[in-house]
Amino acid sequence: MATKHEKIIQYIETLPVGDKISVRQIAKDMAVSEGTAYRAIKEAETRRLVSTIERVGTIRIEKKKKENIERLTFAEIVNIVDGQVLGGKSGLHKTLTKFVIGAMKLDDMMRYTDAGSLLIVGNRSNTHLNALKAGAAVLITGGFDADEEARRLADELDLPIISSSYDTFTVATMINRAIYDQLIKKEILLIEDIVVPIEDTSYLKSTDTVRDFNELNSRTTHGGYPVVDKQKKTVGIVTSKDVIGKQESDSIDRLMTRNPITVTMKTSVATAGHRMIWEGIDLLPVTDEHGVLQGVVSRQDVLKAMQMAQRQPQHGETIDDLVKNEMKLEKDEDDSTVEFTVTPQMTNQFGAISYGAFTTLLVEAGAVALKKTKRGDSVVENMTIYFMKPVQMEKTIQVLPKILDMSRKFAKIDFEVYSDEILVCKALVTFQVLER
């Protein structure tokens, strides 16, 4: 049975895109306290079902699926640029397809401005009107206002006019950064991308018996199942090993493993994969924040998704990607030495390589050394670094990893880092080895 919180989320999902939502209204419609309504609206905002704008309120927006090109709604733009909505509030839920910087003559500008665009321009009233007539929203920079005619037209056409105190270059940079961050998020696989949904999930009740397990097993041939109570909350997990040699009348409640490891829809696939391999489990129940079963993921699905993700092109580069791009391996197959050039993006305020970029370099160099031993992926458990000298911007350094000890689950690697043949750093890193 769904909780009050879940019912409110489901109710918000049924509201038409563009509807305005308030805590008081939700509390009244759903017969819940204002505190419960507030928490559910915040959860809806996290799920990108609604967007809250200062002086405007909370608006139901389109929930966007993962796409090749990440899009933003005008409501999200208002929050990104700390904007004020001057007109066309009823169109804030709409999605923009592109933004155009109005730094050219009007006729030339209009060639690039069409329906769904966002025109970023200063206090040029004639331009505002022409953009709205072309079906585009307007973002006025420099904190300038829009005239009454433009506001009236924006309201008629449901096209927002937004004013921001930032200049045109800063606004464009902020929007670009937001889209870039969305692209990085898009590349991170989450459990919701690979989950077997609840309607396709086989599970048992805590009141079931070994007979029920055997019947379900003969139909599905799965090796294990989540176990739920009357409220469909996950209370355990039962596998073939648990029921071998047991009587058919034995209760699942007595045989199952209680308090199983679970994940949520927003858990990353990489995190789930690490836990499954490290704990030696083949099935993870997927639950909501109240423990209600929403589906399952298998070890096979997780590892397959991780392998697929590694082959996908990265649209938005993280620090890890920047570091990987600068790494060059020695051509000798028996040598794991990595050469690396320090770029300006990887420096701290003193012009030396930043701690974050440097630790990423050590982790990547260690991963290279481990892969040459034909092992699987790895994650860092412990790291000790001794800096001898700072490494300046645009210097080339050599990282020499040496495996000191390796077991089935752990590896200890000693690193020596040289710049201009001078030792600049020593480090000792312990890795957890993720055997497939």
For the chain, percent of residues with pLDDT exceeding 70 = 90
Is the pLDDT at 426 greater than 90, yes or no? yes
Position 275 scores a pLDDT of: 80
What are the respective helix, strand and coil percentages of the chain, to the nearest 5?
40, 30, 35
Position 59 scores a pLDDT of: 86
Mean pLDDT for the stretch of residues 178-195: 74
> Which residues are CB-contacts of 73 (< 8 A; sequence separation ≥ 6)?
51, 61, 62, 92, 93, 94, 95, 96
Interval 126-157: pLDDT, tens: 999 999 999 999 999 999 999 999 999 999 99
Give the three-class secondary structure for 270: helix
Rounded CA-CA distance 220/216 in Å is 6
Which position has the higher pLDDT, 330 or 296? 296
Rounded CA-CA distance 217/225 in Å is 9
Position 430 scores a pLDDT of: 94
Rounded CA-CA distance 105/82 in Å is 27
The tokens 């630790």 sit on which residue?
359
In sequence order, the β-bridge partners of residue 84 are 163
The tokens 């209009």 sit on which residue?
110
Q: How many CB atoms lie within 10 A of CB 86?
A: 21
Looking only at the bridges linking them, the beta strands covering 234-239 and 224-228 are antiparallel
Which position has the higher pLDDT, 317 or 42? 42
Rounded CA-CA distance 254/3 in Å is 28
> Which of 126, 85, 130, 94 has its CA nearest to residue 112?
130
Average the pLDDT over each of 104-113, 136-145, 186-195, 327-336 and give the range with the smallest value: 327-336
Q: Binning pLDDT at 50, 70 and 90, where does residue 237 land?
A: very high
The pTM of the full predicted model, rounded to 2 decimals, is: 0.49
The tokens 């973002």 sit on which residue?
139
Give the three-class secondary structure for 45: helix
Is the pLDDT at 322 greater than 70, yes or no? yes
Rounded CA-CA distance 128/119 in Å is 8
Average the pLDDT over each of 172-176, 187-191, 229-233 and give the range with the smallest value: 187-191
Judge whether 74 and 38 are in contact, CB under 8 Å: no
Is the pLDDT at 355 greater than 60, yes or no? yes
Interval 37-96: pLDDT, tens: 998 888 888 777 888 877 778 888 876 554 444 568 898 899 889 899 999 998 988 888
Position 264 scores a pLDDT of: 92
Is the pLDDT at 209 greater than 90, yes or no? yes
Mean pLDDT for the stretch of residues 255-260: 91
DSSP calls for 176-213: HHHHHHHHHHHHS-BGGGT-EEGGG---EETT-BHHHH
Interval 360-374: pLDDT, tens: 999 989 988 888 887
Average pLDDT, the chain: 85
Is the pLDDT at 1 greater than 60, yes or no? no
Position 68 scores a pLDDT of: 41
Position 67 scores a pLDDT of: 46
Position 436 scores a pLDDT of: 54
> Which residues are CB-contacts of 205 (< 8 A; sequence separation ≥ 6)?
227, 228, 229, 230, 252
